[in-house]
């Protein structure tokens, strides 16, 4: 009797014999089954796959840019942050860099920041009235407020320049001439760390999903810096209830329906956000209201709580995005992706050093919006 293996060999022999017989007697069959035909088909499939991958990473782009507010003395820290961003993300996606300063950038600053990226770089001077303390501020009152904060050891309590920066980031940077053609931005500060590789475009995530604000770290604000910010905000809400959508993110800001502020905010030194949202009527009116109240100088209102409150009130909660896969550190806090996200991003941060659920974090409050 023939063994099963002999049957297999016999059948294969018959099939091969038929293949060669048909190849010689039927020309179309020979062409259809030739090795060169299979090779061409495989090459075309690989080319199509490569093209689709290229389109997903380089061809389609948002109208977006990195925005860096820095001084000439920040050059070393700026280069460090840029190099990490370029290596982790921007070498593949080629988004432009926009640098802003209240003083002209030096030739050295321009030269070295241009050399560290293949993307375009632009350098803008901040208009005087956008940066410096407005004449409407009572300087005697502001001086007394700063002295009291210094006495109480409030961080940056005595600094006018820090207040200028907070006011500028709150209400003016998005009006700069260099940003007028952009719809999204990624704020990058000197001396920060980006720990993970990014193989997708966060700007397109924002654009395609109708998001207006993206973050990595959220935390409580120092109460000593914002004693009247919420009362001022409530007064604005009372005067303009039409600006608040029904599905806003008030729950991130307050546990009692807006009566009090829990001090939660997104840490704005990292933000990927919509420029058009800041340019919208509700936010612009809100900023003007705050600016007229003088709290940027009589207290020390930061751009982080101002941005966070404005976004939470005037956007829908579904328009926020938590970039949990972007590893980031700004001293003294860091977000380090966990589990598979850490390995997928080839992250080099220690997963155990992660601020997400520390007692001072507000991530739980954000997550509670969706439960």
Contact 296, 170 (CB under 8 A): yes
Which residues participate in catalysis according to the annotation? 271
Q: What is the DSSP string of 156-195?
A: TTT-HHHHHHHHHHHHTGGG-GGGTT-SEEEE--TT-EE-
Number of CB atoms found within 10 A of residue 283's CB: 24
Contact 264, 218 (CB under 8 A): yes
Contact 114, 78 (CB under 8 A): no
Alpha-carbon distance of 91 to 85, in angstroms, equals 8
Of 234, 276, 255, nearest to 63 by C-alpha is: 276
């Amino acid at each position: 009797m023939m063994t099963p293996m002999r049957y297999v060999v016999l059948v294969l022999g018959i099939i091969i014999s038929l293949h060669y017989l048909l190849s010689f007697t039927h020309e179309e069959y020979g062409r259809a089954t030739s090795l060169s035909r299979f090779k061409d088909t495989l090459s075309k499939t690989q080319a199509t796959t490569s093209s689709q991958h290229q389109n997903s990473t380089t061809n389609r782009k948002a109208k977006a840019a990195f925005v860096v507010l820095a001084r000439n003395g920040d050059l070393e820290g700026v280069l460090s942050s840029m190099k990490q961003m370029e290596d982790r993300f921007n070498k593949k996606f080629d988004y432009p860099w926009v640098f802003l300063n209240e003083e002209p950038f030096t030739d050295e600053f321009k030269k070295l920041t241009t050399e560290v990226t293949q993307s375009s770089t632009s350098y803008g001077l901040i208009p005087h009235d956008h940066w410096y303390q407005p004449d409407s501020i009572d300087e005697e009152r502001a001086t007394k407020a700063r002295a009291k904060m210094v006495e109480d050891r409030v961080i940056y309590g005595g600094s006018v320049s820090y207040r200028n920066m907070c006011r500028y980031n709150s209400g003016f940077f998005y009006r700069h001439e260099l940003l007028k053609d952009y719809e999204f931005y990624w704020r990058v500060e000197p001396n920060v760390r980006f720990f993970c590789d990014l193989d997708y475009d966060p700007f397109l995530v924002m654009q395609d999903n109708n998001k207006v604000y993206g973050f990595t770290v959220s935390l409580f604000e120092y109460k000593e810096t914002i004693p009247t910010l919420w009362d001022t905000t409530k007064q604005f809400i009372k005067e303009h209830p039409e600006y608040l959508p029904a599905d806003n993110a008030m729950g991130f800001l307050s546990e009692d329906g807006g009566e009090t502020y829990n001090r939660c905010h997104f840490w704005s030194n990292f933000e990927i956000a919509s420029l058009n949202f800041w340019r919208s009527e509700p936010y612009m009116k809100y900023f003007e209201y705050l600016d007229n109240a003088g709290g940027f100088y009589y207290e020390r209102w930061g751009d982080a709580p101002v941005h966070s409150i404005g976004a939470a009130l005037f956007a829908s909660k579904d328009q926020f995005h938590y970039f949990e896969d972007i590893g980031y550190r700004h001293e003294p806090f860091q977000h380090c992706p966990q589990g598979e996200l850490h390995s997928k991003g080839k992250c080099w941060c220690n997963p155990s050093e992660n601020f997400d659920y520390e007692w001072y974090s507000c991530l739980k409050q954000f997550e509670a919006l969706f439960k």
